[in-house]
Amino acid sequence: MKLLFRTVFIFIAAFHFAAVAADSPWSCVVVIGASASAGFVLTEPLGGPATTRCKLNYYLDAAITAPHAPVKNLASALLFLNPEALAPLQIAAATNDRPTLVVGVDFLFWFCYGDGRSDAARAARLEQGLKLLEQIHAPLVIGDIPDASYATNTGIISVDMVPSETARKAANRRLRQWAATQPQVVVVPLAKFMRDTMANAAIHAHGLTLPAGKTRALLQADQLHPTPHGAAVLTLGILDALVTKQTKFPADDILWSPEEVFRLGCQAADKSRQP
């Protein structure tokens, strides 16, 4: 009898959780994009514990306190190889999940960066990326295009992969223009996050301040990818931009502590690797 009661209780609790989650704008969150979202560490090119700790989904799961299914991460560190072929696969997989929120903070990066392309070719490829994003009929957080030219000093990207300043600024103007016609889209200032971390400048998110002199540690030594702390802080920047523009996503549903989001996210990442 006790076993039957416990089974019924668990079933009812699970049904209640599913019903509450279904009504939540957070119920199905999907991540798309490249290596900053997928997690990447230069010393673990095939993945490993440090790479897992850099995956964005664990920090989104930690930060979102409202009932939700585990955040699904469809991002790939291999997107740079052929974004025209690989990005549509991510979009198809994401839309098949009928998401209530899509996060693509670095999705457009390789639609502007890449090997030896002219400014005109980069602009045309950006249009391809924007067209792909138009297939998503859900709230979408997309990052702008950062200046990652300093990462050529570490060899993680080559000089001919970097767009000219003119091309990068034109891409961001076009992104803002496009986003203004897409009421579901929120643009998060990834470029500012990268610039501030490289300068070791203060970072602000939802009333919180990480002081100057403390933020360079948010980027790895390759000067391109976030550390686990960086992924936690970037997550709160993403969610701050979202709740500011999309009021159906309550700010009260977010854990606004970078240290707690980092701690819980790392715990979940480590647990995911346990047999």
Q: State the CATH class of domain 26-272.
A: alpha beta
Rounded to the nearest 10 degrees, the angle between the axes of helix 119-133 and helix 165-179 is 20
pLDDT at 133: 98
Amino acid at 254: I
Which residue positions in the chain have pLDDT lower than 50?
2-20
188 Cβ contact list (under 8 Å, min separation 6): 105, 141, 142, 143, 144, 237, 238, 241, 242
Quick one: DSSP state of residue 70? Answer: P
Name the residue ranges covered by the structural domains of the chain: 26-272
161 Cβ contact list (under 8 Å, min separation 6): 113, 114, 115, 152
Q: What is the 3-state secondary structure (H, E, C) of 110-168?
A: HHCCCCCCCHHHHHHHHHHHHHHHCCCCCCEEEECCCCCHHHHHCCCCCHHHCCCHHHH
Q: Is 1 exposed, middle or buried (0-12, 13-18, 19+ CB in 10 A)?
A: exposed
Quick one: DSSP state of residue 257? Answer: -
Q: Produce one character per residue of 234-256: b if its CB has 16 or more CB atoms within 10 Å, e if not.
A: bbbbbbbbbbebbeebeeebbeb
242 Cβ contact list (under 8 Å, min separation 6): 101, 139, 141, 186, 188, 249
Helix/strand number for the chain, H first, E second: 10, 7
And the tokens for 114?
A: 């890449």
Closest CA to 147 of 102, 183, 107, 112: 112
Closest CA to 203 of 174, 230, 169, 243: 230
pLDDT at 163: 97
How far is residue 107's CA from residue 41's CA, in Å, rounded to a whole number?
A: 18
pLDDT at 116: 74
pLDDT at 22: 56
pLDDT at 12: 42
Rounded CA Rg of the chain: 19
Q: Give the pLDDT confidence of 152-163 residue by residue, as tens digits.
A: 999 999 999 999
